[in-house]
Amino acid sequence: VDMKWKLGVAMSSDTCRSLRFPYVAVTLRVADPSGQITDKSFEMSIPQFKNFFRQFKEMAAVLETV
């Protein structure tokens, strides 16, 4: 139904003082066959997000031909 994403940088955590790596946080809003809508959230590295985006574009292109 919807997709939101944001770019972030993890600076530190309780277990690691210096992370400093970028990540992409994605939230997908999906509807099941009954119409129930749920949010699914996950984080990816930049290379993972680029691959995800490429696959998403391929899926959109296929859906346009249907």
Residue 8's domain comprises 2-65
pLDDT score recorded for residue 47? 92
Domain count, the chain: 1
pLDDT score recorded for residue 14? 73
What's the CATH number where 52 sits? 3.10.450
Instruction: Average the pLDDT over 58-65 and give the result.
Output: 91
pLDDT score recorded for residue 10? 78
pLDDT in tens, 9-56: 877 777 767 777 889 999 999 999 999 999 999 999 899 999 999 998
- The pTM assigned to this predicted structure is 0.70
- Pairwise CA distance, residues 57 & 50, whole Å: 11
Do residues 26 and 11 lie in contact, with contact meaning Cβ atoms separated by under 8 Å? no
Instruction: Indicate whether 59 pLDDT > 80.
Output: yes
